[in-house]
Amino acid sequence: MSNARLLTNWTSYLVAAYFAKDWDTSLEIWDSIVEILGDDPRSMCKVNELNEIFLFRVKIFVGREDYKKGIKFIIKNKKYIVDDYRRNEALVDLYMRAGQTRKAVECLEELLKLNSCNSKYYKQILHAEGVEEDQEKIRETLAKYEEVLPKSNTHTRLAIELLDASPEWEEKLAQYMRPMIIKGVPSLINEMRSLYNDPAKTKMLGNVLLAMCKSMEAEMTLAPSDD
């Protein structure tokens, strides 16, 4: 039997053992797969296939609750786990499970460098830092990333979602909405629907929209006519 066929058979067996939550057998099968791959796995598998094989090993670490070993495994095998997103997301999960929240935040910051528009990463940072219920800490944290990642507006959108209504909040709302209204982004009003459950925020949303309408009307009045 060729190594390729053997590898396919062992991989199927690995998946079956994993879903049966037989972690010890899963580990033994994975080790057998690595033996088949030999000293230079990249000569037998495509880069994306190796990426999946090594990430699967991480799943086994999680199942066995060997979180620290999983972290060391990812760092050691970075050359095979080439998907930056999934590698860092796996590390975030392992660091959180291992109680190493500072390391988890560092990985989340690496993910924000790759995609500063992913609101999930900001929320995971707030969770890792234990400030999800602290309005001032939320404000400080999001303000920090607003300074570090000025091209993104996701931190502003999250501030609108997570912070309580206040004059500062209303200014933040106007800051977020103004460029989108100027560009005519059609999804903006639907995006604001999440605010309707809060009477104070709904009132401020109306104030911002009315102020923008008056501003546009004033500009149209002052604009020179074609005549």
Query: Of the residues 115, 142, 164, which one is the last residue of a structural domain?
Result: 115
> What's the domain range around 31?
22-37+44-115
Q: What is the pLDDT of residues 71-117, one digit of tens each?
A: 999 999 999 999 999 999 999 999 999 999 999 999 999 999 999 99
pLDDT at position 225 is: 59
Please state, in angstroms and rounded to a whole number, the distance separating the CA atoms of residues 173 and 212: 12
Please state, in angstroms and rounded to a whole number, the distance separating the CA atoms of residues 141 and 163: 12
Mean pLDDT along residues 206-218: 88
- Asked if residue 106 and residue 141 are part of one domain, the reply reads no
Please state, in angstroms and rounded to a whole number, the distance separating the CA atoms of residues 133 and 163: 10
**Residue pair 88/79 in contact by the 8 Å Cβ criterion:** no
- Asked if residue 191 and residue 155 are part of one domain, the reply reads yes
Residue 104 lies in a domain: yes
How many structural domains are present in the chain?
A: 2
Give me the residue label for tokens 């459950």: 197
Given pLDDT bands bounded at 50, 70 and 90, which one contains residue 190?
confident
Q: Give Cβ neighbours of residue 84 (< 8 Å, ≥ 6 apart).
A: 110, 114
Q: What is the pLDDT of residues 120-140, one digit of tens each?
A: 999 999 999 999 999 999 999
pLDDT at position 2 is: 56
Is residue 33 predicted with pLDDT exceeding 70?
A: yes
Residue 64 lies in a domain: yes
